[in-house]
Structure 1
Amino acid sequence: MKIDTHQHFWKLDRGDYGWLTPDFGPLYRDFLPEDLEPMLKACGIDGTIAVQAADSEAETDFLLSLTVHYHWIIGVVGWVDLEAQSAVASIERLAQHPKLVGLRPMIQNIEDDTWMLRDTLRPAVAAMINHNLTFDALVMPRHLDHLKTFLARYPDLRVVIDHCAKPEIRNYTFEPWASQITELAGFPNVFCKLSGLVTESREDWVSEDLTPYVEHVRKAFGPDRVMFGSDWPVVNLASSYEQWHEVFQSIGQIDRVQEQFSYKNAMEAYPRIKQSSS
């Protein structure tokens, strides 16, 4: 099976996408499973993981409701206010749904870069571990030293780094991002999504701009801890689903690419997938 481990859905009239304004142009409309399905078929993608795009539990419920009608959505990475007194109860409620595979705080939008190190997160993180949920780290290069401390603090928490931590490809900046990625890859419970790279590049990007970053992540994490993600529909700001899929396959050897599309890698990063399909 070929898996896309990172895509989004949203419906504007739901009203909880605070970041999504008309300034985002082509993104400012509804994006639903029926819009994505033809592209999945064209690219031979068998299943996807839908990732939260709003900081509300209501959106998580919305994404989980879609899995009833679209069985190719094999998992949902949702959202909970991890600092709230109700966080543990919320995690316990949402975890009753077999398709919930992880949670993602929107760290890149939080003003305090050290937020992930607050002690107020400890009960929620413990609940995530207890329910075998994965933590999606939506981070940028400025967060990586703090993420290293976070990983050392929670060695039993499975963590997926989204979008390779958004390296500054448009400025051809490689360090210290590359060294920090190598250090993070030293934690065996950490995975990385090869996603979101075209929107971190120049408008006139070519695949050669991306290659050093993709190859570094592959080398650091090895073939079993990296995964393909489209970041659809955000990818539409710089590319298309089909173009990113084609470019991704063109970078590196085809057998290595297939491993990064694999159901096995997704299941290792999000083990509740196995539970929901058994």
Structure 2
Amino acid sequence: MKIDTHQHFWKLDRGDYGWLTPDLAPLYRDFLPSDLKPLLDSAGIEGCIAVQAADTEAETEFLLSLADTHDWIVGVVGWVDLEKETAPESIARLTEHPKLVGLRPMIQDIPDDRWMLLDELRPAIEAMRAHNLTFDALVMPRHLPHLLTFLEKYDGLRVVVDHCAKPEIRDNGFEPWASLMAQVAQSASVFCKLSGLVTEAGANWTTPDLQPYVSHVYEIFGSDRVMFGSDWPVINLASDYPQWREVFSSLVQDQPIQETLGAGVAAKAYPRLG
């Protein structure tokens, strides 16, 4: 099975997507499984992992309900307020659903860049460990020093870095991103998603603009810890699904693409998968 490890669904009338405004015209409508399935089929991808886009447990339950009715949605990365005293109970309740594979706090939108280091998070993080969930790190380059401390604090916790930590490609921001990511990759329990790069590269991006970043990710993580993700429908801000699938293939032509696309790496990153 080939898997897209990072995409989103949403319904505007649910009302909990605070970041989603009419200014984001390509995204300001409903995106549901019926919209994605033809794109997956045409790309030769048989399954996907739906990732939260709202900071509510209700949205997590919405995604899990979609996974109940579409067997090709093989996993869900949801959201829980990890600071709340009741977070461990929420995690235990949500993991009663077999398709919950991970949780993702929206770190990029939190004012405190050191938020992930708060001691108040420890009970929730330990509950994630106990329930075999993976921590999706929605971080940017400025968060990487703190992510390194986080990895030391929770040694062995499985972490997936979303969108390669959003390198500043449009500004040729290879360093210090590259050096910091190399340090992050030294932890064997950390994985990386090749996703979201075109939206970081600006309106006039080209495939060569992306190549140094993709090559570096493969060099430091190895093909057994890198996963394909579309970031659909957010990718529509700068590209579309068919184009990204084609560009991805050209970017990784010297790598074992079947491993990156395959369920094997995803199953190591998300052991509850399947």
**TM-score, with length taken from structure 2:** 0.99
Give secondary structure in 2 for the equivalent of 1:68. Answer: helix
Matched residue, 2:188: 188
Give secondary structure in 1 for the equivalent of 2:256. Answer: helix
Matched residue, 2:86: 86
Matched residue, 1:98: 98
For 2:58 and 2:145, the matched residues in 1 are separated by: 32
Matched residue, 2:200: 200
Give secondary structure in 1 for the equivalent of 2:80. Answer: coil
Give the superposition deviation at 1:159: 0.2
Give secondary structure in 2 for the equivalent of 1:35. Answer: helix
CA contact (8 A) 1:16 1:56 kept: yes
Residue 83 (structure 2) pairs with residue 76 (structure 1): no
CA contact (8 A) 2:8 2:232 kept: yes
1:186 corresponds to which letter in structure 2? Q
For 1:24 and 1:85, the matched residues in 2 are separated by: 35
For 1:35 and 1:253, the matched residues in 2 are separated by: 28
Residue 221 (structure 2) pairs with residue 227 (structure 1): no
2:67 corresponds to which letter in structure 1? T
Give secondary structure in 1 for the equivalent of 2:23. Answer: helix
Q: Deviations along 1:42-79, whole A, 9 cap, x unmatched?
A: 00001000000000000000000001111000000000
For 1:103 and 1:190, the matched residues in 2 are separated by: 15
Give secondary structure in 1 for the equivalent of 2:232. Answer: coil
- Structure 1 segments, 4+ long, off by >4 Å, are none
1:195 corresponds to which letter in structure 2? S
Give the superposition deviation at 1:253: 2.3
What residue ranges of structure 1 are gaps of 5+ in the alignment? Answer: none
Residue 133 (structure 2) pairs with residue 151 (structure 1): no
Residue 116 (structure 2) pairs with residue 135 (structure 1): no
Matched residue, 1:269: 269
CA contact (8 A) 2:223 2:255 kept: no
| CA RMSD in angstroms, aligned pairs only | 0.7
What residue ranges of structure 2 are gaps of 5+ in the alignment? Answer: none
Give the superposition deviation at 1:255: 5.2
For 1:94 and 1:234, the matched residues in 2 are separated by: 26
Give the superposition deviation at 1:259: 1.3
For 2:132 and 2:92, the matched residues in 1 are separated by: 11
**TM-score, with length taken from structure 1:** 0.97
CA contact (8 A) 1:102 1:135 kept: yes
Give the superposition deviation at 1:254: 5.8
Residue 262 (structure 2) pairs with residue 259 (structure 1): no
For 1:156 and 1:259, the matched residues in 2 are separated by: 23
CA contact (8 A) 1:162 1:195 kept: yes
CA contact (8 A) 1:138 1:162 kept: yes
